[in-house]
Structure 1
Amino acid sequence: MTVFYVAILSLIEGVTEFLPVSSTGHLILASELLGIPQTDAHKSFEIAIQLGAILAVVVLYARTLLRDRRTLLLTITAFIPTGIIGFLLHGIVKDMLLGSTTVVLVSLFLGGIVLIVFELPAFRRKKPAMGEICQMSYVHAVLIGVFQSVAIIPGVSRSAATIIGGELIGMSRKSIVEFSFLLAIPTMAAATGYDLLKSAGEFTSGDVQNLLIGFVLSFVFALIAVRWFISYVKEHSFVAFGVYRIILALTFFLFWK
């Protein structure tokens, strides 16, 4: 894989990781368009460059976790169901689902519909019951963790899954997005670390160089995307992301498949 392709995939990872559009789905579709085969090494690369995006959130939110014990405990609690389900299904997902364009397109389309539906007046509360993360209960945290587990399916989007879970329990858009960022730290670190440990022997010196470049670029782009997203949700709903997902899925299906 050329450095140019690495840069493109890292840009996609950094920008889409924390938006409700599925970074994994975008990486799979981009690899398809670029003609990059979905080998085990490439799948591991797509997972590994998430470390850069994780670092961006750590830089922005580490102080929040360190100074707010309840928020830290809520994050850990929400991670538990995700960690268990992810550990049990990691092999199946990587071997059978990761790299499947069809799975990604279906997930993008259905997820887009759900995001739009949950913004309809009939489903959305006029005033969120929880404007701050600390107002959540531990039961709420577990529920969001279960929702996040659905994102193990490529194309669903970890961010979208947690957002939908948060809206169900009455969290404000800003608070659920911020909690999604915090929950990403243990979730993505565990998934990436586990995959790297299992795949370390598959990487060549060239692969390691690509990983380092991807790490740096995904960090920079994720830093920009996270700051923008927080600003965006203060004034806007998630409908635009739902529409985008549907258009992307239909366009790719009609003109590429």
Structure 2
Amino acid sequence: MDLVLLAKAAVMGVVEGLTEFLPISSTGHLILAGALLGFDDEKSKVFDIAIQTGAILAVIIVYWQKIRETVVALPTQQQAQRFALNVFIGFLPAVVFGLALGKLIKTHLFTPQVVATTFILGAFVILWAEKRSPSHVRIQEVDDMKPLDALKVGLVQCLALVPGTSRSGATIIGGMLLGLSRKAATDFSFYLAIPTLIGAGVYSLFKERHLLSADDLPVFLVGLFFSFVSAWACVRWLLRYISSHSFTPFAWYRIAFGLIVLGTWWTGAVQWHA
């Protein structure tokens, strides 16, 4: 057993778990970490997507009570049915646009210039969203959302197909701009992540199954475990953080990281490729 490879898988799992649900783009961080660790071949790209499942398991556990109550009430309660419908409606655009444009985006937009630009532009969107008056908030809780609200957030989530945008950043900040409270936008982003990331992981594993063998299982399990543990800690921290803080610090972090992307590309320190 290659202990060095397992250690790299653990580091990548931690990076995934800590960045997946913050508005800072896990993809950019995984590329940078993978390049620095020499963990960036074709198989590692499948690994990066597959270990998202560990992060999603953490969300399911944190939100287990709401998920369980919804499943139990689904046959009889209208509120549970509307919640499930909203998650489905929000998830659907990512499926349509992902299948239609995913390959094209991966081929043409996965460049350091695009990643850095979206990091920095996203930062200014966050700063703008946080400066808006609280009076525009019309949805305080996820259960207050209507199907049209879910569709709008789902369409905004599709922006995350562009590298460096951040899926959680697009849905949380997009939701806030659409009139959701910070809490409602964050909660819906987490719920929306469950089908979106599980679907992406299963699709990637199936599509690239020819690259994998039974020998890869320990590496994937280590990545999944550390992704789960770090995501669980991160999600619980973020839910406490948003109760009394804004997302402004993440905006300044995005600007700094965008400059790091440009610097590593300019110097050739990181091979930014799809």
Give your verdict on TM over 0.5: yes
Task: State the 1:220 CA deviation.
Answer: 0.7
Is the aligned partner of 1:22 residue 2:25? yes
Residue number among 192, 207, 210 corresponding to 1:198 in the alignment: 207
Instruction: Tell me which residue corresponds to 1:12.
Output: 15
Task: State the 1:102 CA deviation.
Answer: 3.2
- Give distance in 2, aligned partners of 1:108 and 1:81: 22
Instruction: Tell me which residue corresponds to 1:82.
Output: 94
User: Identity across aligned pairs (percent)?
Assistant: 40
Is the aligned partner of 1:118 residue 2:129? yes
Residue number among 20, 33, 37 corresponding to 2:36 in the alignment: 33
Instruction: Tell me which residue corresponds to 1:92.
Output: 104
Instruction: Tell me which residue corresponds to 2:181.
Output: 172
Residue number among 155, 167, 170 corresponding to 2:164 in the alignment: 155
Instruction: Tell me which residue corresponds to 2:217.
Output: 208
- Give distance in 1, aligned partners of 2:52 and 2:260: 26
Is the aligned partner of 1:105 residue 2:108? no
- Give distance in 2, aligned partners of 1:149 and 1:20: 15
- 106-115 or 123-132: bigger deviation: 123-132
Pairs aligned (count): 253
Instruction: Tell me which residue corresponds to 1:42.
Output: 44
Residue identity matched to 1:17: E
Is the aligned partner of 1:71 residue 2:83? yes
- Give distance in 2, aligned partners of 1:67 and 1:11: 30
- Give distance in 2, aligned partners of 1:175 and 1:250: 31
Largest Rg, 1 or 2: 2
Residue number among 242, 245, 254 corresponding to 1:236 in the alignment: 245
Task: State the 1:97 CA deviation.
Answer: 4.3
TM-score by length of 1: 0.92
TM-score by length of 2: 0.86
Write out aligned runs for 1:175-190 (5 A): 175-190=184-199
1:28/1:101 contact within 8 Å kept: no
1:125/1:170 contact within 8 Å kept: no
| Structure 1 unpaired stretches of 5+ | none
Kindly tell me: are residues 4 and 101 of structure 1, through their superposed partners in 2, closer, same or farther at Cα, counting changes over 3 Å? farther
Task: State the 1:43 CA deviation.
Answer: 1.1
1:29/1:101 contact within 8 Å kept: no
- 60-69 or 185-194: bigger deviation: 60-69
| Structure 2 unpaired stretches of 5+ | 71-79, 267-274
- 154-163 or 124-133: bigger deviation: 124-133
Task: State the 1:89 CA deviation.
Answer: 2.1
